[in-house]
Amino acid sequence: MKLRLPGVDTAIKYLRPNAKWDLYNRTFTRYECSDGTEPPEWSEIEAQIALDVEAYNYYLYARNRETDYGDWKDQLNLLYDDIKSGNLENGQWVQMIEAVKAKHPKPEGQPPQ
């Protein structure tokens, strides 16, 4: 899943993907949209930011896992060593992956939409 970094600009781009705009503080100084839609209200923007923050926070575990897994070349080397030693069930690679997953568990429940 590709996450949007939470923020005003990201929320507006999501809410009005066809719009071109400039913003100063909370005021649109320029707004053009090819499909004729009006600029989003500030309440819409804040609500979208809240949704984006919720999703971004939910997937913190995945970002942390990606960091802790390390380089994929090192992982392949561990896996190769485990294959050669015939220890695929509980080899170094499996232990490393399980340790990272235990350190950064997936949150309970359904991910935010």
* DSSP-derived secondary structure for 8-75: HHHHHHHH-TTEEEEEETTEEEEEEETT-PPPPPHHHHHHHHHHHHHHHHHTHHHHHHHHHH--HHHH
pTM confidence score: 0.76
**Averaged pLDDT, 81-102:** 96
pLDDT class for 86, splitting at 50, 70, 90? very high
pLDDT at 16: 97
Which residue, among 54, 16, 56, has the nearest Cα to 33 in the 3D structure?
A: 16
Phi and psi at 24, nearest 5°, equal -125, 120
